[in-house]
């Protein structure tokens, strides 16, 4: 009989410990970390979608504005550089890698802006159905990038805050002592608005 009582006490202790752990924030840190990683994947997906649109956009513009070779080359080179920089979930605590990724994407944004500005000089290009469809997809993707970056920034802020606030700071200093704050993907000035794409 004492053996049954001790098993019951042990089971009740485990249930009680589980309730204490779940109510005091033990699961908060890994949950927030996974949410931030998922948001980073969204950021990467949006940038990849933009990178995938660029070859078609360059080909379409090239057919009408082949003499704008330096602008077209600039876009192709900026795309190549932007797609070479890979930042996976394990790199999210490295501010230098996040900055390198941001800088490459900013260069690509600038190159795209120059390409779209050049297209203003070619009325036939602006009325091309393929170009108009690509422009619409690019605008949609730029909006998606803004939303994905905002969501990532919010998720990282929540994770980093959990590492420093009570009661989760207790778990951050003990069970999750190896977890570092994630690097924020800082938005550049004016990036809260998608670029104006007019043709």
Please write the tens of the pLDDT for every residue from 15-61: 766 655 555 678 899 999 999 999 999 999 999 999 999 999 999 98
- Report in angstroms the alpha-carbon separations of 8 from 17, 19, 22, 50, 58: 14, 16, 21, 59, 71
Q: What's the pLDDT at 192?
A: 52
H or E segment and range at residue 14: helix 2-23
**Spatial contact of 118 and 65, defined as CB atoms under 8 Å apart:** yes
Percentage of the chain with pLDDT > 90?
55
Q: What's the pLDDT at 193?
A: 56
- Report in angstroms the alpha-carbon separations of 104 from 30, 79, 100, 182: 30, 8, 6, 20
Fold of 27-173: de novo design (two linked rop proteins) (1.20.1440)
Q: What is the mean pLDDT of residues 147-162?
A: 95
Q: What is the pTM of this model?
A: 0.78
Q: Where are the domains of the chain?
A: 27-173
């Amino acid at each position: 009989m004492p053996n049954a009582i001790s098993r019951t006490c042990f089971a009740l202790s485990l249930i009680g410990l589980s309730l204490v752990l779940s109510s005091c924030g033990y699961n908060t840190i890994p949950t927030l970390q996974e949410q931030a990683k998922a948001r980073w994947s969204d950021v990467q997906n949006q940038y990849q979608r933009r990178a995938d649109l660029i070859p078609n956009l360059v080909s379409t513009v090239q057919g009408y504005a082949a003499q704008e070779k330096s602008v077209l080359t600039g876009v192709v080179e900026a795309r190549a550089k932007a797609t070479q920089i890979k930042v996976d979930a394990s790199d999210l605590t490295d501010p230098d890698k996040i900055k390198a990724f941001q800088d490459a994407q900013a260069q690509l944004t600038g190159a795209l802006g120059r390409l779209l500005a050049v297209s203003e000089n070619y009325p036939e290009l602006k009325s091309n159905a393929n170009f108009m469809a690509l422009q619409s997809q690019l605008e949609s993707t730029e909006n998606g990038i803004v939303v994905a970056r905002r969501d990532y920034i919010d998720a990282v802020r929540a994770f980093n805050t959990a590492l420093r606030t009570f009661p989760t700071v207790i778990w951050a200093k003990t069970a999750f002592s190896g977890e570092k704050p994630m690097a924020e993907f800082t938005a550049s000035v004016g990036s809260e608005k998608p670029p104006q794409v007019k043709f």
